[in-house]
Amino acid sequence: MSDELQPDQATPATNGKLALEVRGVTKRFGALEVLRGIDLSLHQGEVLGLVGDNGAGKSTLVKILSGFHPQDGGDLLIEGQRVGLSSVGSARAHGIETVYQDLALIPQLPVYQNLFLGHELTRFGPLRILDKAQMRKLSRQYLDDIHVNVPSVDADSDQLSGGQRQAIAVARAVRVATKILLLDEPLAAMGARESRLIIDLVKDLASSGRVSIIVIDHNFAHLFELCDRLLVLQGGRITVERQVHETSLEELTELMVSSYRAQLEAVSEAGA
Ligand SMILES: Nc1ncnc2c1ncn2[C@@H]1O[C@H](COP(=O)(O)OP(=O)(O)O)[C@@H](O)[C@H]1O
Ligand SMILES: [Mg+2]
């Protein structure tokens, strides 16, 4: 049987081909049903924003897409082919890179090793030893290019501020992502200057069109600047979908509030 897909309708910023499709994905933790059937498509070159209350399941969805958690049901397709993402390594091998909300960097490793995590440079030779000098040099250059300040690329990442750690994690993922980049609240710990740098970095990557991006952020203004399309996740399902150019901050806020109200009413009716 063929896994070939008919592409959805094209969104303006993309070529109409799908980078990723999520079909009917479910996930529970014990008695807690977190995802109740998630369907979404991510077009090649598209930036898709995901919003929803705390506990809505956004990070859980990202962790399924990055191979960190297995889903209980449903399918994942990359470029039309059904895939099983059994580990973070297997997702990486499919070109998926992730910045997690809760585990951005490895604290005991220096900045330059975090920047090359999973994509280390080695020197030719019988032992294929790590080329630390080259990784240090390229790290310094890269961070200077994108104007991210760190005291030293040799500093352990637990010596950095939360915002600096997030900036390094995003810089790493942007550098190595080949198909899909997942960003789970990448700006949460950042000040205004760092946020601006990172938004510009992600926008540069997006405008290259070579990578598709899913970004979670509570700040609608960030999402309106970065995204082509927005999805709202509530009660384990996608409840709202809007092209950014067809909506506004006001409408999105109103949609979220009214769909939240409908959900509360459904719950209280079920309990009555
Ligand atoms: N590993 C886990 N074990 C048990 N419950 C979890 C786990 N991860 C998340 N949850 C629960 O699943 C729900 C969704 O969490 P999460 O995906 O982090 O939401 P969001 O990112 O939208 O805030 C929450 O109620 C959370 O407590
Ligand atoms: Mg989260």
CATH number of the structural domain spanning residue 176: 3.40.50.300
Task: Show the tokens assigned to 105.
Answer: 């960097």
Is 9 among the domain residues?
Answer: no
Sequence-distant (6+) residues with CB within 8 A of 240 are: 230, 231, 232, 234, 252, 255, 256, 259
CA of 134 to the centre of ligand 1 (A): 39
Helix (H) or strand (E) holding 264: helix 249-271
Which residue is closest in CA terms to ligand 1's atom 6?
29
Dump pLDDT digits (tens) for 40-52.
Answer: 999 999 999 999 9
Burial of 102 (0-12, 13-18, 19+ CB in 10 A): exposed
Q: How many domains does the chain have?
A: 1
Tens place of pLDDT per residue across the chain (272 aa): 444 444 444 444 556 799 999 999 999 999 999 999 999 999 999 999 999 988 999 999 999 999 999 999 999 999 999 999 999 899 999 999 999 886 667 778 888 888 887 777 777 665 667 888 888 999 999 888 888 888 899 998 888 888 888 888 888 888 888 899 999 998 888 888 888 988 998 999 999 998 999 999 989 999 999 999 999 999 899 999 999 999 999 998 898 888 778 777 877 887 76
Is 5 among the domain residues?
Answer: no
Nearest ligand to residue 234 Cα: 1
| Phi, psi at 228, each rounded to 5° | -90, -35
Sequence-distant (6+) residues with CB within 8 A of 71 are: 25, 26, 27, 35, 64
Tell me the pTM: 0.86
Nearest ligand to residue 188 Cα: 2
For ligand 1, say whether the CB of 58 is within 6 Å of any of its atoms.
Answer: yes
What torsion, rounded to 10 degrees, do the Cα atoms 25, 30, 31, 34 define? -30
Is 7 among the domain residues?
Answer: no
Dump pLDDT digits (tens) for 7-46.
Answer: 444 444 556 799 999 999 999 999 999 999 999 999 999 9
Task: Show the tokens assigned to 223.
Answer: 């999402």
Which residue is closest in CA terms to ligand 1's atom 4?
29
For ligand 1, say whether the CB of 52 is within 6 Å of any of its atoms.
Answer: yes
Is 159 among the domain residues?
Answer: yes
Is 84 among the domain residues?
Answer: yes
Q: Is 73 helix (H, G, I), strand (E, B) or coil?
A: strand
Range of the domain at 71: 18-271
CA of 29 to the centre of ligand 1 (A): 8
Is 198 among the domain residues?
Answer: yes
Task: Show the tokens assigned to 41.
Answer: 């498509």
For ligand 1, say whether the CB of 70 is within 6 Å of any of its atoms.
Answer: no
Q: Is 225 helix (H, G, I), strand (E, B) or coil?
A: helix
Which residue is closest in CA terms to ligand 1's atom 18?
59
Measured distance CA(238)–CA(156) in Å, rounded: 39
Question: Which of 60, 68, 100 to mutate to test ligand 1, by most ligand atoms within 8 A of the CB atom?
Answer: 60
3-state helix, strand, coil in the chain (%, to 5): 35, 25, 40
Is 153 among the domain residues?
Answer: yes
Is 71 among the domain residues?
Answer: yes
CA of 231 to the centre of ligand 1 (A): 18
